[in-house]
Amino acid sequence: MATFTNRLATLSGILIASAFVMATDETFFQSGTFSAAEFHLACAGIVGTALALVLSLSIVPAQKAADVFSTAILELYARDRKLWEVFATLALLTLLSATLGTKSTFGAHPRWTVAFQLIALGVALDALRLFYLRTLDLLIPQTALTLVRKECERLTEVMARNARRLAHVVQVGGGKHNPLEPTAAQWLSFRSSPASKHLISWINQLEEFAHKALARRDTLAAKSALMTMATIGMHYADVRRDSIVLTPDFSGLLPTGVSDVEQVLSPIYESIKNLCEDAARQPDEAVVATCVREFGNMAAHAMTIVHTQDDAWSTAPLSHSPIFYLKVCAAVAARAQMDNALLTAVRAIAPFFGKISDRVQTLEAEATAIDCLYEIALASYVRRSYVPADEAARLMITVARHELNVRDFAYNRGLRTILSNLAALIPFEVVAEKAGQRTMQVFAPYSGTGLRTLLIEEANKIKPEPRRWVDPFHDFNELSQSVVLHYRELADKLNFDGTMLQKWIVWSALDCADVHLHLLANPPHGSERFLDNVENRLIWFIHAPSFFFKEEASFPYHHAEEAAARLATLGMQLLRLKRPEATEACAQAIALIGKRSASVSKANARSVAGIFVKVEMLARAADAHGYSDLAKKCRSLEKRNEIVLMLPEYATAVRDQANHLGESLAKHPDRDIALPNDPVPLLRQILSEAKALKSRRTAIINLLLNRCRQ
């Protein structure tokens, strides 16, 4: 349909010409009333007028481009292929019509020349319409940007073609003893090419376009200019993949390898940064968001451009600069209080980390990206804008998990930094919750998809070592130590005052303990001899929750009872795995929570008893499994006389809790409505199994005695 519309005048001319040829008698041409020459001259005048109109109106888009963009765009408009096609078509038709008007018909009958002239007139009218549409296109800023992009790509391809030719000549001319490699030859060609200066000049022109668009509040044009600059930069970097040579830079204390590709990319980065600052002053948040998004795209693209030194050491030399500039633009957005731009910055960093590899060294760029996430979160907390902060913290955990999946823990540098950053952000979360701004909202790093998943990721990588003396849990234990020390740091430095965040962090630590429990229950084949190391790390996690409950004025009894219940459940599960030392650690952790709950002012005797009854549960489970010494140790942890001195009503509360425990254990399992994480059903099951085992043993002994008597 579009093709038919664009050729409407030509098709009409063909139809009219066909009708003229078939319907016109010969007498019409011989009557003298019609002059073919005059008709051709008239048509030549019409087409010539159209040509003059084309030349006159072509000044309009050129003038608009000079006002809106710059005079440099006039060169591209003057070389526009479609305008040249229209000019050539109209000029040719004008000359042909004028020639036919001189009665030089080249022996053709007027019937055919007139028919040809009608068709030519239709073609001229379609060409005039094409010029009209192209003029409208040239008035659109995106068209000018497309022309600039194609011109820059043409310059880049010219440089690449010359570089390949030079490399081929050097390789053929030098033979096998040629000291200059093809990569170095291409590098020399690119470095000495004058086209790079033209490329930088067009980048400056694009920056000027974008500044003018911002001045007239044309957000779409400014965003298009930004994306064009980024596209040009990524295309240039793509072309330079095979010609990257790192030369030493002595500007710092130690020489570092830098690439000459930055000579073209740095002006692009600077231009985008300048536009970001200008847009923040306007303010225009959409443009600022586009700036950080394009830096993220360029950073992810730069991670795919790898340079290998001496066939051994691989780096991505172009990866650091875009991440650094993204961090700068994110700081600009934070100062301008642009939350959407900060969210865009966080999400723009994610593809960058998706490109990391264990074979490519990009630690500097990764450290800058993690630091950028931390600064975004910190700036958001200062302004009490919690959505970007939560998104940044969530991405930190995702990054740590992905890095563990890609690299061994020994080569993981980002995880420790991330844990340190999270510890620095937690006080802001506590303040937010106390102010009622984060009520009942889980903080991502300590949710089900938080730190626990890091241990799961490392646990999934555990495989039996062919060397039997090598501990396959070494990396897992090292990661476990880093995580549990993070929890200890939080407990030592912060006072949560019973906030919900305290509960989520404690439960997160217990979730991490469950990962260790799963490894103890399901160790990889051949790794059983090293499980004691895993148990030692588990004991660290078991003790971690007790350090969080140190409030004096308002002790969180509800949170403490829930933590004690989970510790009791964990201890009974460890008894089933024949890990009495870890079970004793659970009892000690519960007792420590109970003692702290009893020592606060205005202590709640019933709640304190509810905590210590969990120790009694572990003692009964130990008796059921035959660990009588462990049961005695558990019961000795209560030190009831000392607590009664501090809290006289504690004796009555303990008796009531013991009676309630007995009633709960006596209930039929089908009639018992257990609360989540309630250890009573598990204890009932353990006691039932012990009773059944004792009955079987008694029956076997009686059977043997009867046989002996017989």
Helix/strand/coil (H/E/C) assignment for every residue in 516-568 = HHHHHHCCCCCCHHHHHHHHHHHHHHHHHHHHCCCCCCCCCHHHHHHHHHHHH
Per the domain annotation, does 131 fall within a domain? yes
Asked if 477 and 538 sit in the same domain, the reply is yes
Measured CA to CA, the distance from residue 41 to residue 100 in angstroms comes to 8
H/E segment holding residue 290: helix 285-302
Lowest mean pLDDT among 35-44, 54-63, 517-526: 54-63
Query: If pLDDT is split at 50, 70 and 90, which confidence band does 566 have?
Result: very high
Asked if 543 and 563 sit in the same domain, the reply is no
Collapsed DSSP state (helix, strand, coil) of residue 308:
strand
Q: Residues with Cβ < 8 Å from 578, sequence gap 6 or more? A: none
Over residues 683-698, the mean pLDDT reads 81
Angle between helices 414-434 and 500-521 in degrees, nearest 10: 140
Asked if 544 and 576 sit in the same domain, the reply is no
285 or 47, greater pLDDT: 285
Report residue 388 as tokens: 């970007």
Domain with 493 in it: 444-548
Per the domain annotation, does 308 fall within a domain? no
pLDDT tens digits, 237-279: 998 888 887 776 666 555 566 777 888 899 999 999 999 999 9
User: What pLDDT does residue 671 have?
Assistant: 56
Query: If pLDDT is split at 50, 70 and 90, which confidence band does 62 have?
Result: low
Measured CA to CA, the distance from residue 490 to residue 428 in angstroms comes to 13
Q: Show the beta-strand stretches assigned E in 195-336.
A: 246-249, 256-259, 307-309, 313-315
Collapsed DSSP state (helix, strand, coil) of residue 309:
strand
Query: If pLDDT is split at 50, 70 and 90, which confidence band does 120 have?
Result: confident
Residue after which a domain boundary falls, among 139, 168, 199: 139
| Alpha-carbon 344 to chain mean position | 10
Paired strand residues for 315: 307, 361
Residue 647's φ and ψ, nearest 5 degrees, are -140, 90
pLDDT tens digits, 9-36: 777 777 877 776 677 766 666 666 667 7
| Alpha-carbon 351 to chain mean position | 4
Pairing mode, if any, of strands 256-259 and 307-309?
Answer: unpaired
Measured CA to CA, the distance from residue 451 to residue 304 in angstroms comes to 29
User: What pLDDT does residue 27 have?
Assistant: 64
Residue pair 54/131 in contact by the 8 Å Cβ criterion: yes
Angle between helices 195-215 and 141-174 in degrees, nearest 10: 160
Residue after which a domain boundary falls, among 548, 568, 599: 548
pLDDT tens digits, 353-375: 988 888 888 888 999 999 999 99
- For the cut 80, the answer to whether the pLDDT of residue 38 exceeds it is no
| Percent helix / strand / coil, the chain, rounded to 5 | 75, 0, 20
Lowest mean pLDDT among 41-55, 586-600, 636-650: 41-55
Paired strand residues for 313: 309
User: What pLDDT does residue 543 have?
Assistant: 93
Over residues 630-653, the mean pLDDT reads 83
Asked if 578 and 705 sit in the same domain, the reply is yes
Other C-beta atoms closer than 10 Å to the C-beta of 309 total: 12
> What is the number of domains present in the chain?
3
Residue pair 255/248 in contact by the 8 Å Cβ criterion: yes
As a residue count, the chain comes to 710
Asked if 646 and 523 sit in the same domain, the reply is no
Residue after which a domain boundary falls, among 98, 124, 139: 139
434 or 371, greater pLDDT: 371
User: What pLDDT does residue 528 have?
Assistant: 81
Asked if 703 and 595 sit in the same domain, the reply is yes
Collapsed DSSP state (helix, strand, coil) of residue 703:
helix
- For the cut 60, the answer to whether the pLDDT of residue 672 exceeds it is no
Per the domain annotation, does 164 fall within a domain? no
Over residues 668-674, the mean pLDDT reads 58
User: What pLDDT does residue 47 have?
Assistant: 76
Mean pLDDT (the chain) is 82
Paired strand residues for 309: 313
User: What pLDDT does residue 669 have?
Assistant: 63
Residue in the block written with tokens 């225009």: 284
Per the domain annotation, does 649 fall within a domain? yes
User: What pLDDT does residue 233 have?
Assistant: 92
Per the domain annotation, does 515 fall within a domain? yes
Query: If pLDDT is split at 50, 70 and 90, which confidence band does 588 have?
Result: very high
Other C-beta atoms closer than 10 Å to the C-beta of 559 total: 23
Asked if 530 and 578 sit in the same domain, the reply is no
Q: Out of 5-19, 92-106, 632-646, give the one with best mean pLDDT.
A: 632-646
Percent of the chain beyond pLDDT 70? 85
62 or 207, greater pLDDT: 207
Asked if 494 and 583 sit in the same domain, the reply is no
Measured CA to CA, the distance from residue 445 to residue 180 in angstroms comes to 52
Report residue 195 as tokens: 């086209």
The set of long-range contacts for 466-471, using a CB threshold of 8 Å and a minimum separation of 24, is 468/526, 471/530, 471/533
Residue in the block written with tokens 């379609």: 126
Asked if 528 and 568 sit in the same domain, the reply is no
Over residues 27-54, the mean pLDDT reads 71
- For the cut 80, the answer to whether the pLDDT of residue 634 exceeds it is yes
Q: Residues with Cβ < 8 Å from 513, sequence gap 6 or more? A: 538, 541, 542, 570
170 or 231, greater pLDDT: 231
Lowest mean pLDDT among 248-262, 352-366, 585-599, 696-710: 248-262
Measured CA to CA, the distance from residue 602 to residue 555 in angstroms comes to 9
Measured CA to CA, the distance from residue 135 to residue 54 in angstroms comes to 10
Over residues 606-620, the mean pLDDT reads 90
Asked if 589 and 692 sit in the same domain, the reply is yes
Asked if 706 and 567 sit in the same domain, the reply is yes
267 or 66, greater pLDDT: 267
Asked if 655 and 707 sit in the same domain, the reply is yes
Percent of the chain beyond pLDDT 90? 30
Per the domain annotation, does 406 fall within a domain? no
Other C-beta atoms closer than 10 Å to the C-beta of 143 total: 18
Per the domain annotation, does 671 fall within a domain? yes
Per the domain annotation, does 641 fall within a domain? yes
